[in-house]
Structure 1
Amino acid sequence: MTNQLSRIITIIVICLTSSFVSAQNKSIPLYQGKIPNSTGAPEEEIRENNNILLISNVQKPALEVFTPPKRNRNGKAVIICPGGGYHYLAYDWEGTEIAKWFNSKGITAFVLKYRLPIAKTVTNKSEVPLSDAIQAIKMVRKNAETWNINPNDIGIMGFSAGGHLASTLGTHYNMDYNIKNDPYKDISARPDFMILIYPVITMEATYTHRGSREALLGKQPTDEIIDLYSNEKQITKNTPPTFLLHCEDDDVVPVENSLLFYKALKENNVPAEMHLYPKGGHGFGLASNNAHLQTWTQRLYEWLWKMSNN
């Protein structure tokens, strides 16, 4: 083998190795030191994988970072909240797989492993998922330059109960949990846009998802807290532009959740786009095996493109 050929092979190996390393995603803890609203008791996170990776009893909330190739990045970023009824996180189905799709479109994605209110180690249970989401978007915004993203083009996305969390962030982003020595205290937690996929929206008994409501608010919530977390009642003119997706035959989270939210958005002159599919049920993720339903990702990409060019 000639010296020149050896050098060429070495260069190729280095380039491939560099590409591999740069493509690796990493998990970043949301908090340094003591985690707020936590007893600190020694509990373990639970991971189960039976076609879908389910994570429960989250103890250390974190962001997993997915970056597209540098040449394809467009500066947009999305934080993804997997669903699971506030009992667990469908972490790959409604998290990492979605992040990879965003990467294919040049969008940096972050999967949020947020704490669940049913965990024994969690205090102030109804506040904890939102406090983790607030911390997540502040962290991303403050470090936008590190990930080559636009700090004014960061959205929140959620599926099912994760959609409730995302819509709670979009309507309650000014809530202050007084985290001691918070390095992000002066950073805005307002998302620049929201993407809500078959979301739980209301806590009102008629249309809510009972399991999500009981996990978040308890078995006998007051009318006040029901109203506070019925996010269709919390929309203002400052609520971020929103993309909504739901199936009319959803027998887990009624389609009325999206309808109520969309109606309130329009009443407050907030830009919104809603897509309703007649069939598809609940929890379909990317819907890769449904030729009609899987087109929802194209609808989303078109909406994001329009948002960027308005």
Structure 2
Amino acid sequence: MTKDDGALATAARMIAAGQELDPRSVTTLAPGIPLWPGTAPGSEGWEHQESVFVGSTGALQVRNVVVPTLTPYLPDPERATGAAVIVAPGGGFLMLSMESEGTAVAEWLRERGIAAFLLKYRVGHSGATMADFAQRFVSLFEPVTAGETVAGSVANMDHLAPGLALDDTRRAMALVRERAAEWQIDSDRIGLIGFSAGAFLASNAVDAKDPVERPDFIACIYGGYAEDKTAPDDAPPLFAVVTADDVLCFDETVRLIQAWQSAGRPVEAHLYPIGGHGFGCTPTGEAADSWLDRFEEWLRGLGHLGCPQ
């Protein structure tokens, strides 16, 4: 294990050392709209229970998601621009970072007149107890074989989780389009922002066969393509952010940017020197904190900010 790998494993242990909460005591996470009627396809027979816990930073996290949902954050009608963005938090497909990569982003978008929708997608089963979760989460950051990099440790991941999460993401996109008139949204101005694992979902959502499930623009924050891949010829505009010291998803993000550039598709990319992985909307005191300002400028350039004339 390299020095960076050891640092990641230590960080993982801190995240995994969270405190589980009684779901009845959690009021800051608004109830969402179920994405699927009845049991979500692929979850048949699941008996584990969703769990909410407080991570080492004091932020709420969710694990063992069985029922995927979408929570609307609709702007004041007088400020609404007609644009919408689905927010996909990260968490290694084992948990969801629901605040700094979720509610904070959704509220930020709503304040700017954009309808936001927080996606709670299915993740891998992490056991009944927090001790089970800690063991499984830490294993994501430990090399499977000698000399393997942390980012290559996909053998430690629930192999079903990314596919089910992508199904949920595409279903969320279709649901927002289906109800666009109800939510006063332009059906051809619906984007997707994802963080880490959520960025994987955003970058792969553009491949949906059904146009209704494809985003019109995407933002990938420290995450992208897990392997070499060609961007679609009609890939939507991409906004990407990563830091040079992100030992987990730097390569994946750069790979995504290069794929868009090679395909001749519009891309705006921001590389910051320091920030690590998983900062979301949490201030770090580093230059990477300005990514939201750059994102706002990008959205304005696409015409998604400012009330329509």
TM-score (norm 1): 0.74
Matched, 1:282 2:273: no
SS in structure 2 of the partner of residue 240 of structure 1: coil
Aligned partners of 2:275 and 2:286 also within 8 Å: no
Gaps of 5+ in 2: 1-28, 128-157, 305-309
Q: Using the alignment, how far apart are the partners of 1:35 and 1:104 within structure 2?
A: 32
Residue matched to 1:156: 192
- What is the correspondence of 1:200-215 to structure 2 with a 5 Å cutoff? 200-202=224-226
Q: Using the alignment, how far apart are the partners of 1:246 and 1:164 within structure 2?
A: 13
Aligned AA (1:284)? F
- Count of residue pairs the alignment pairs up: 244
Change over 3 Å in CA distance of 1:236–1:200 after alignment to 2: closer
Q: Using the alignment, how far apart are the partners of 2:160 and 2:260 within structure 1?
A: 29
Change over 3 Å in CA distance of 1:267–1:109 after alignment to 2: same
Matched, 1:70 2:77: yes
Shift of 1:261: 1.1
Q: Using the alignment, how far apart are the partners of 2:266 and 2:277 within structure 1?
A: 25
Shift of 1:42: 2.8
Change over 3 Å in CA distance of 1:41–1:198 after alignment to 2: closer
Q: Using the alignment, how far apart are the partners of 2:171 and 2:268 within structure 1?
A: 27
Aligned AA (1:97)? A
Q: Using the alignment, how far apart are the partners of 1:62 and 1:187 within structure 2?
A: 21
SS in structure 1 of the partner of residue 101 of structure 2: helix
Change over 3 Å in CA distance of 1:110–1:192 after alignment to 2: same
Matched, 1:189 2:213: yes
Aligned AA (2:88)? C
Aligned AA (2:272)? Y
Aligned AA (2:217)? F
Q: Using the alignment, how far apart are the partners of 2:286 and 2:106 within structure 1?
A: 21
SS in structure 2 of the partner of residue 188 of structure 1: helix
TM-score (norm 2): 0.74
Aligned partners of 1:44 and 1:57 also within 8 Å: yes
Percent identity between matched residues is: 35
One of 96, 102, 127 as aligned partner of 1:95: 102
Q: Using the alignment, how far apart are the partners of 2:73 and 2:113 within structure 1?
A: 11
SS in structure 2 of the partner of residue 150 of structure 1: coil
Aligned partners of 2:275 and 2:284 also within 8 Å: no
Q: Using the alignment, how far apart are the partners of 2:62 and 2:255 within structure 1?
A: 30
Deviations 1:225-263 (A, max 9, x none): xxxxx3x5041211111000001111232x222221111
SS in structure 2 of the partner of residue 293 of structure 1: helix
Residue matched to 2:137: none
Shift of 1:293: 2.3
Shift of 1:38: 1.2
Change over 3 Å in CA distance of 1:123–1:243 after alignment to 2: closer
Aligned partners of 1:157 and 1:196 also within 8 Å: yes
Residue matched to 2:180: 144
Q: Which has the higher contact order (CA 8 A, sep 6+)?
A: 2
One of 134, 159, 168 as aligned partner of 1:132: 168
Larger C-alpha radius of gyration, 1 or 2? 1
Q: Using the alignment, how far apart are the partners of 1:291 and 1:131 within structure 2?
A: 35
